[in-house]
Amino acid sequence: MHVNEEDIEWNEYETPETTFRRKELGNAVDAEKLGCSLYELPPGERSWPYHYHTANAEAIYVLAGSGQIRTPDGNSDLEPGDFLDFPADERGGHRVINDSDEPLRYLAISTMEEPDVTIYPEMEKFGVYVGSPPGGREERTFEGYFPMDAETDYWE
């Protein structure tokens, strides 16, 4: 399949925690096992909360602007041409931060495996996705967000 990003509408995300725009390129071409989105992060904003996946690897390629990437190793600078790999485990923890005065544009690429569990260490919760991976188009057979300390006995 083939699509030009100019033919795709922006999806706007705005919460108290983050504000950004996203074009879902992978969905636009019905990619089955590979996700790709174009992100535009305004000055002073942050992307999705700090997280990592247990089944899906992710990568980022910076197109324009500058900012920071938060990883388990701390923050480091981002600039056009940077490529970053986030493996599907806690080493892949990340969050994009635009601490500049210009928009930050980047591609986010991911595998699209399910089921997946996404861990949000700072929020002390995790998300479970069955039937469609995070960012997937299919209806999920099960999904939910749960506190990290949620416990129940197997037989109860």
Number of structural domains found in the chain: 1
132 domain-assigned: no
Once rounded to an integer, what is the mean pLDDT over residues 38-46? 98
Domain of 41?
5-113
Instruction: Specify the pLDDT at position 133.
Output: 78
Answer yes or no: are the C-beta atoms of 78 and 47 closer than 8 Å. Answer: no
CATH of the domain at 61: 2.60.120.10
Nearest to 40 by CA among 15, 67, 58: 67
Once rounded to an integer, what is the mean pLDDT over residues 47-67? 97
Instruction: Specify the pLDDT at position 156.
Output: 79
85 domain-assigned: yes
- Please, which contacts does 75-80 make with residues 24 or more away whose CB atoms are closer than 8 Å? 78/104, 78/106
- For CA atoms 24, 13, 73, 128, the dihedral sign is negative
Query: Cis bond leading into 87, ω under 30°?
Result: no
Instruction: Specify the pLDDT at position 55.
Output: 96
Residue 135 tokens, joined? 């960012």
pLDDT digits (tens, 9 = 90+) for 86-100: 999 999 999 999 999
pLDDT digits (tens, 9 = 90+) for 116-148: 999 999 999 999 999 887 777 778 889 999 999
Once rounded to an integer, what is the mean pLDDT over residues 44-54? 96
98 domain-assigned: yes
Residue 121: strand, helix, or coil? helix
> What is the percentage of the chain residues whose pLDDT exceeds 90?
84
Amino acid identity for residue 35 in this structure:
G
